[in-house]
Amino acid sequence: MERMRKIKRQLSLTLGRGGAGGGDRTLSETIAQEVTSHSDSEIVHEDVKMCSDGESDPASSSDDVQSPVRVRLRNKKISTESEIGFGKLETYVKLDKLGEGTYATVYKGRSKLTDNLVALKEIRLEHEEGAPCTAIREVSLLKDLKHANIVTLHDIIHTQKSLTLVFEYLDKDLKQYLDDCGNTIHVHNVKLFLFQLLRGLAYCHRRKVLHRDLKPQNLLINDKGELKLADFGLARAKSIPTKTYSNEVVTLWYRPPDILLGSTDYSTQIDMWGVGCIFYEMSTGRPLFPGSTVEEELHFIFKLLGTPTEESWPGICSNEEFISYNYPHYRAERLSNHTPRLDSEGVELLSKLLQFEGKKRISAEESMRHRYFTNLGNRILTLPDTTSIFSLSDIQLEKEAVRPPQSDSVNSLSRRQSLLF
């Protein structure tokens, strides 16, 4: 923690010297030096070079897929006046405020260079603390993740008071999509959204990146039906085996039981439980385990899946937290009784995702090849990483039927969810 505070203070000093574009070192250079000089268990990644000062690696210009940073460098000559250009706040016009959190405010905006809509994530910089570690993580990871189902980081702007990340703009998140269709998504669209979630996640997991905060609000959807993973502020790069990860991750409703019970020894399977919860929520229109405390969250889980025993979850009976809660001995219920809109293949996949032990959960890569997706064809499995599934002529989003809002009890859950987040 002391090293993290030191990094933040150095970033703050750098921003104070550099302002909106000057100084001896840029924000990205600072991130590069500080992140790569510490172990994986302290920050998140290695080899971070964001090039926000306008310099790039000539050897990298031959890559088949050009990064937003390289596009920025190539197009920098577009601006004939010093007032606008990539890396400058004046280049973007704020249109609407989309949301606000503890550290950042998100705006809908427009680029004066391209005239395209963008999302502006404005992160406030405190004088003492500097850039939040979540911002450092998001920048360092997203600059290396180029995939059709992961949101694109276009630009980075820093001033003395703020760090602004410029993302591609998508119309809504999955939570808003659910609300707009009366919490009843067409079953075919559920399948398309789930496949895209798994596809983006499999790409991350192949690169040893754990998202660690999957929830409907962090899945963005555009008018074409393309779904993209967003908000990598809690993500981690698992480059070496370690048992030093935090268990204070993943929003409560989507947090797996092993993490709820204190485990810090996890890998990519931490994300798969959240996938199962989101799959259920898309299929039914309601959250699966809407607990307000860790104890209540576990109670909801055990009531549906059965209270674990030493036989079903080896070692659970020696877990002090589990013992202290003293849960009733529930028998597992049939998932099919709670998911009437899912076929047998869908229920089977859901069951494979909702396993108590991380090592028993199905992986994202394996999930994409599950028979639940058979009717989407084989070509969807061989698309290049940066190609949308909707490039295939036989893959189309079904039109949603607009339905009236559900009962007050469901709406109250939604309100409660928004307060928790």
| pLDDT tens digits, 274-309 | 999 999 999 999 999 999 999 999 999 999 999 999
318 and 296 in a single domain? The answer is yes
**Distance in angstroms (rounded) separating the CA atoms of residues 46 and 240:** 11
121 and 211 share one domain: no
pLDDT band at 314 (very low <50, low <70, confident <90, very high): very high
Q: Count structural domains, the chain.
A: 2
Q: Of the residues 173, 213, 231, 271, which is catalytic?
A: 213
pTM more than 0.85? no
Cβ–Cβ < 8 Å for 352, 344:
no
Q: How many Å is the Cα radius of gyration of the chain?
A: 22
Domain boundary at 113, 140, 168, which? 168
Q: What is the dihedral of CA 134, 137, 140, 144, to 10 degrees?
A: -110
Residues 220 and 315 both lie in one domain: yes
Residue 213 designated active-site = yes
Question: Are residue 269 and residue 155 in the same domain, yes or no?
Answer: no
97, β-bridge pairs: 107
Is the per-residue pLDDT at 402 higher than 90? no
If one compares 227 and 57, the residue with the highest pLDDT of the two is: 227
Number of alpha carbons in the 13 Å side-chain half-sphere of residue 287: 27
CB atoms within 10 A of CB 357: 17
Contact 69, 56 (CB under 8 A): yes
Where is the domain boundary, 153, 168, 183? 168
Do residue 151 and residue 282 come from a single domain?
no
- pLDDT-based confidence at residue 266 (cuts at 50, 70, 90): confident
The verdict on 308 and 344 lying in the same domain is yes
Same domain, 270 and 158: no
Structure tokens at 114: 């391209």
209 shares a domain with 67 = no
* DSSP structural state of residue 334: P
**Parallel, antiparallel or unpaired: strands 92-100 and 104-111:** antiparallel
Q: Which domain holds residue 303?
A: 172-420
Identify the domain boundary among 150, 168, 186: 168
The CATH number of the domain where 272 resides is what?
1.10.510.10
- The pLDDT value recorded for residue 103 is 77
In 191-348, DSSP assigns E strands to 209-210, 219-221, 227-229, 236-237
**Is 176 found in the same domain as 101?**
no
